[in-house]
Amino acid sequence: MARKQHLVTGHLEGIGAEVFVQFPEVITAMVAGHHGIYALYNGERLYYVGLATDLKNRLKAHLRDRHKKLWDRFSVYITSTDEHIKELESLMLRVIQPEG
């Protein structure tokens, strides 16, 4: 019997953006090199949803790009493959319609 493989293999939710400065090794150990979907929040409000083939580098980029002062927390959903992340992102954007 084939073993069922889960699409989402791990997640972090509601993590403060300051963790990149305070605990960079923790974030590196958890998300570096992993692909998946991420969400950026401004307070309790969902601001942005995106996909990444390297979650750590993508989130760090958002600390410097046009979104830098518009979010203060993030969540990541690590996927087992990157095969369906574009479809997942598109579905989330259609349903949630974040402002960013």
Encoded tokens for 51: 């996909």
Mean pLDDT, residues 49-68:
89
pLDDT for res 42? 94
Q: With CA atoms as reference, report the closest residue to 82 among 42, 36, 40.
A: 36
pLDDT for res 3? 63
76-100 pLDDT per residue, tens: 999 887 777 788 888 888 887 777 7
> Between residues 7 and 1, which one has the greater pLDDT?
7
Instruction: Inform me whether the pLDDT recorded for 2 exceeds 70.
Output: no
pLDDT for res 76? 92
Strand-strand pairing, 8-16 and 73-79:
antiparallel
12-45 pLDDT per residue, tens: 899 898 888 898 888 888 888 888 999 999 998 9
Distances (CA, A) of 27 to 2, 23, 59, 93, 100: 33, 7, 10, 25, 23
